[in-house]
Amino acid sequence: MSTLTRRQTLGLGAAAFLSGILAGRIPVNAAEAGTLTIAFNVNLPSFDPTVGPSAVNPTIQAIYRSIFDQYVGQKPDLSFEPGLLTKWGWNDDKSQVFMDVREGVTWHDGSAFTPEDVVWSLERAAKAETGNPIQFVWSTVGNFKIDGNRITADVLRFEPTLFMWMAFLTGYVMPKAYYEKVGAEGFEKKPIGTGPYMVDAYEGNAFLRLKANPAYHGGKPPFDTVVFKFVPDTTSRVAEIESGSSDVTLEIPYEEYDRLKEKDGLSGVAIPVSDIGMIFINNIEVMLDKNVRLAAHHAINKEAIVKRLLSGYGVPIDTLEAPEYSAYDPSIKVAYDPDLAVKLLADSGYSTDKPAKFTIQTTRGLKPKDYEMIQAIVGMWRKVGIEAEIEVYEIAKHYELRAADQLAPAAFYNWGNAIGDPTTSTGFAMFGPSPHSVWNTDDLDNMIAPLWGEKDEEKRIAGWKAVSKYIAEQGYVIPLLQYVQPIVFKSTMAVTPNVSGALQPTLVAPA
């Protein structure tokens, strides 16, 4: 997982630069100025890519991969490649792991990257008190030993996806000596990594400016400077690219994508990515009633949503496994059947005159038509006897509420699974003890628990398919669609789309 960037006006101070870009007064040609400006759809809550709720936000990984390197790299097609580790694996009986550390790498402050950084980062990630949301993965190995550039460790609990996670969320190597010197607060003020770009200037909720790392082990990136402008509002992102103030943007309404990519000077690309749109169901209030849960699912016309709201850009799904995931089972279907929804609700005493009531939470502008999609679903529900009140929140609030198991009875979310494994979709979203789940019942937890450490891969995948089937039958979650990510950019740019959905600057170059 890599990243690149571009450059915008070195002599400007942060305040002048900020006012200029926000006013649209610095729409320079990227290729000429050596600057890449990205109108980005989320803010950056924290620079530490390994702790706190933002660490598991798939969208922010584009920024994190620009500054930091991961243990294992991942190409735009999601295949794995060497990162800060050049080789890795288990011994024959899977009681130990080994990792070979890349030589000749330096941190942004010029100090040497060493195997001690890798061990410290893994040990830190494994400690619950550190606040790594994936601590329960990193804690499965320990007793590290360093011999030259090879690290070995004992398997404390077999985790089949350990090395996949090293290319995924929170799988970043942190600088041991520097972090211990400056602490968490100092790191937020001046973060360093080994990645292709270095932090140059940051204004919270406004922009992040990066400069190329001339000593990057992967070679100097194509742009001298990269600017991430934080533009959560979709209309504003459309204006950014149309006015020329930004070179690239993403996650805009599909009708705007279709319009903009046909304009002179602009191009576009849209491919299915590993993100899915889904509605979390919390086992509270009316959602304790199986009939209500299933009725809510059967009442949703996913095909119509994709066709009418998303201009056909999307793949309807009925489980949390998208077609590219390793445990996808096309036989699992939850049909659009409003008549069945009416009957299920009637069996529990609900009707259009006496509707089942609950709140549904959603973001607005994070993904194309997210809010409008929920509006449409609420309208479909109303026709069968469900009255849902929409509550809008920022994505950071979703993470906060989810971690505390305080989501509303229904909450819309886009789930990223760039490694395509069932543990990282169905598993973490639905296993009660997971900090990412809000459905907590013994029946499901007892089905999932044995699969975490299953060493027989065929048996493991079959087990996850059985779990997905059971979840669909019980109505424990409402999967909606696999996303197609729209990216619009100046014709002077060439953009390689990333199936993970991370718009990394290293995947952008002058055309």
Question: For residues 511 and 260, which has the higher predicted lDDT (pLDDT)?
Answer: 260
How far is CA 410 from its chain centroid? 20
Residues ≥6 apart with Cβ < 8 Å to 124: 50, 130, 132, 174
Q: Is the per-residue pLDDT at 17 higher than 90?
A: no
Q: How far apart are CA 179 and CA 341, in angstroms?
A: 55
Percent of the chain predicted with pLDDT > 90: 87
The verdict on 348 and 477 lying in the same domain is yes
Pick the closest to residue 339 from 288, 384, 290, 389 (CA basis).
Answer: 384
Q: Is the per-residue pLDDT at 43 higher than 90?
A: yes
pLDDT at res. 306: 97
The verdict on 322 and 233 lying in the same domain is no
Pick the closest to residue 500 from 63, 76, 73 (CA basis).
Answer: 76
Q: For residue 232, what is the domain's CATH number?
A: 3.40.190
**Tokens read off for 281:** 């169901």
pLDDT in tens, 55-104: 988 889 999 999 999 999 999 999 999 999 999 999 999 999 999 999 99
Residue 386 lies in a domain: yes
Work out the pLDDT band at 353, boundaries 50, 70, 90.
very high
Residue 462 lies in a domain: yes
The verdict on 451 and 328 lying in the same domain is yes
The verdict on 327 and 417 lying in the same domain is yes
Mean pLDDT of 248-273: 96
pLDDT at res. 368: 86
Q: How far apart are CA 310 and CA 256, in angstroms?
A: 11
Mean pLDDT of 42-48: 94
The verdict on 114 and 162 lying in the same domain is yes
pLDDT at res. 158: 93
At residue 509, what is the residue type? A
Residue 182 lies in a domain: no
Which of 176, 205, 228 finishes a domain?
176
pLDDT in tens, 425-440: 999 999 999 988 999 9
Residue 12 lies in a domain: yes
Q: How far apart are CA 445 and CA 49, in angstroms?
A: 29
The verdict on 105 and 46 lying in the same domain is no
Q: For residue 103, what is the domain's CATH number?
A: 3.90.76.10
pLDDT at res. 33: 59
The verdict on 124 and 6 lying in the same domain is no
The verdict on 296 and 404 lying in the same domain is yes
The verdict on 134 and 154 lying in the same domain is yes
Residue 234 lies in a domain: yes
pLDDT at res. 54: 83
Residue with tokens 């029946």: 443
Q: Is the per-residue pLDDT at 274 higher than 50?
A: yes
At residue 94, what is the residue type? K
Q: How are beta strands 477-490 and 314-316 bridged, if at all?
A: antiparallel
The verdict on 322 and 442 lying in the same domain is yes
Q: Is the per-residue pLDDT at 260 higher than 80?
A: yes
- Please state, rounded to an integer, the average pLDDT across all residues of the chain: 92
**Tokens read off for 428:** 């973490």
Structural domain harbouring 508: 1-68+195-247+492-511
Residue 291 lies in a domain: yes
Q: How far apart are CA 414 and CA 51, in angstroms?
A: 20
Q: Is the pTM of this model over 0.85?
A: no
Q: How far apart are CA 490 and CA 244, in angstroms?
A: 8
pLDDT in tens, 162-219: 999 999 999 999 999 999 999 999 999 999 999 999 999 999 999 999 999 999 999 9
Residue 263 lies in a domain: no
The verdict on 390 and 449 lying in the same domain is yes
The verdict on 163 and 19 lying in the same domain is no
Q: Is the per-residue pLDDT at 309 higher than 90?
A: yes
Task: Indicate the number of domains in the chain.
Answer: 3
Q: For residue 316, what is the domain's CATH number?
A: 3.10.105.10
Q: How far apart are CA 242 and CA 326, in angstroms?
A: 39
Residue 409 lies in a domain: yes
Mean pLDDT of 238-251: 97
